[in-house]
Amino acid sequence: MTYDPSLRVLTVLELLQAREEVTGAELARRLEVSPRTVQRYVMKLQDLGIPVEGKRGVGGAYRLKPGFRLPPLMFTGEEALSLALGLRALRQLGLHTLAPAAEAASAKLTRTLPHSLREEVQALEKAVQLDDSPWVVSTDAATLATLLRAVRASQVAEFAYTSNKGAATRRQVNVYRVMHVDGRWYAVGWCQLRQEVRSFRLDRIRELAVLEGTFTPPQNFDALAYVRSHPYGPPIYDISVWLALPPEQLHGYLSVWNTEIRPEAGGTRICCQRERLDFFASFLLTVPCDFRIDSPPELLSEFRRLGERCAAMLRSDQALHR
DSSP string, 152-204: HHTEEEEEEEE-TTS-EEEEEEEEEEEEEETTEEEEEEEETTTTEEEEEEGGG
Q: How many angstroms separate the most distant Cα atoms in the chain?
A: 73
- The predicted pLDDT at position 253 comes to 81
Rounded Cα–Cα distance for residues 126 and 135 (Å): 25
Rounded Cα–Cα distance for residues 261 and 280 (Å): 15
To the question of domain 5-127 being in CATH 1.10.10, the answer is yes
- The predicted pLDDT at position 132 comes to 61
Strand order in the sheet with 52-54: 22-23, 61-64, 52-54
Q: 55 in helix, strand or coil?
A: coil
Rounded Cα–Cα distance for residues 5 and 102 (Å): 16
If one looks up domain 237-315 in CATH, what number appears?
Answer: 3.30.70
If one looks up domain 141-229 in CATH, what number appears?
Answer: 2.30.30.520
- ∠ Cα 198 230 196 (to 5°): 30
- The predicted pLDDT at position 119 comes to 80
Segment 189-198 long-range contacts (CB within 8 Å, at least 24 positions apart):
189/157, 189/217, 190/215, 192/156, 193/169, 197/226, 198/173, 198/230
DSSP string, 66-83: TT--PPPP---HHHHHHH
- The predicted pLDDT at position 1 comes to 41
Which pTM value belongs to this model? 0.54
Positions of the chain with pLDDT lower than 50, given as ranges: 1-2
Q: What residues contact residue 110 under an 8 Å CB cut-off, 6+ apart?
A: 18, 118, 121, 122
- The predicted pLDDT at position 129 comes to 67
- The predicted pLDDT at position 256 comes to 67
- The amino acid occupying position 120 is E
- The predicted pLDDT at position 202 comes to 93
The length of the chain, given as a count of residues: 322
- The predicted pLDDT at position 2 comes to 45
Tell me whether domains 5-127 and 237-315 share a fold. Answer: no
Question: So where are the chain's domains?
Answer: 5-127, 141-229, 237-315
